[in-house]
Chains A and B, each alone.
Chain A
């Protein structure tokens, strides 16, 4: 497997700095018409200020380290990134989780499995009786013999596995995620299927994530899911439960692609023109709390990557959290938020409206 790219950080690219990404998102150039403020779009839809609903997703980013370096990555993850969550911070997450009711713990990265305390953390969350979702990039399962038993480990802890696969062929998948990723992903899917994942009646949920390989919005989720199921089964005999369509956010490496390819303005206009109030009402930041690798708290994973912490200054770390204050917070929004409200909407759980 070869890397599709390298991290912005390793290349010394200006867009590795969150403040410069925000500057691009908020700058109107001479040849570009001004895009309406996202906050104004929410105001028109009677959703401003955006407030949380009941907390359902406790999302934890275990670090930026990854065996892949995908061209659209919003985390700027890669093998060179060493920032990962410590066991002490995981313990702080567990302490908070113990006080929460029926929430799903959504583990993401990077490749979360590369964190040396990943399995301990999953075991502890499982012992608390919480539902667990792992954003597994598939290739990690076959990357090294020490990961080959991840399917059994996931099964034993009833982990809901969610994995990116941008298309049901190697050409599109490898273009976004690196040469050889498609073939490795098929091997990993077969290993997950072998322990029951995606198989009817097993209770082991295995979903795939589709995001467009380019400056495009995702198409209708149900139609794409039918295509993926038919083609992956026909070509490789592998199965999964649901296809989740996620819009690429105009941040980090996807922002780099948009700017470098000359697609930035048209993509933003497309997102703005497709603003859907119904999707805006259901955005994931309303029922999510996102914990960064260093324990910092955010409204969502995208705000995390843009260094936009929760608006409650006294509760910005899992080490010092005030859940009551967070329940009354105003969700921080910016121009990238159009990515979650375009068309049928986009969330970590797929299309919304």
Chain B
């Protein structure tokens, strides 16, 4: 194993059923249903996936959902805005915890 991440491995995602067929199959059935057109459009779902891919920093997911977002008709601006949403939530999630820090500090300090 020369590298932890290999772009060619993305296409092998489906092979996870080789080690555990039942759970793998259930996952992919669920996955397919999640991304089907529903109350949200396929493009909206793809952009959410793209944002989450950046938050969880998954190179495979970023590769897959950059392609998928473009194929669903998203523009580069939409995609970057989606990533900013992810970044804002990620940053906000850190900062909102500072209220705990503030509470604790105020509790400790005279």
Contact = CB atoms under 8 A, between A and B. Distances in A.
Contacts of B75: 167, 169, 172
Contacts of B72: 219-220, 223
A74 B84 CA distance: 38
B50 to A, nearest CB: 14
A194 interface: no
Contacts of A102: none
A223 B72 CA distance: 8
Contacts of B67: 216
A220 B73 CA distance: 9
B73 A219 contact: yes
A40 to B, nearest CB: 20
A216 B76 CA distance: 14
12 contacts: A167-B75, A216-B70, A217-B71, A219-B42, A219-B43, A219-B72, A219-B73, A220-B42, A223-B42, A223-B43, A223-B73, A227-B73
A212 interface: yes
Contacts of B41: 223
A218 interface: yes
- Which of B11, B37, B73 has most chain A Cβ within 10 Å? B73
B42 A216 contact: no
Interface string A155-173: 0000000000001010010
Contacts of A220: 37, 42, 72
Interface of B: 11, 37, 41-43, 67, 70-73, 75
| 3 tightest A-B CB contacts, nearest first | A219-B72, A219-B71, A219-B73
Interface string A215-245: 0111110011001000000000000000000
Contacts of A217: 71
Nearest to A270: B67
A279 to B, nearest CB: 16
A216 B71 contact: yes
A219 B41 CA distance: 12
Nearest to A217: B71
Nearest to A169: B75
Contacts of A216: 67, 70-71
Given A172-B75, A219-B71, A227-B73, 9 more contacts: A214-B70, A216-B67, A219-B72, A220-B42, A220-B72, A223-B41, A223-B42, A223-B73, A269-B11
Nearest to B43: A223
A169 B74 CA distance: 12
A269 B10 CA distance: 13
A210 to B, nearest CB: 8
- Which of A169, A212, A216, A219 has most chain B Cβ within 10 Å? A219
A167 B72 CA distance: 12
A30 to B, nearest CB: 15
A32 B109 CA distance: 66
- Which of B11, B67, B70, B71 has most chain A Cβ within 10 Å? B71
Nearest to A210: B73
Interface in A171-218: 172, 212, 214, 216-218
A224 B75 CA distance: 12
Given A216-B67, A219-B43, A224 B11 contact: no
A43 B43 CA distance: 34
Contacts of A167: 75
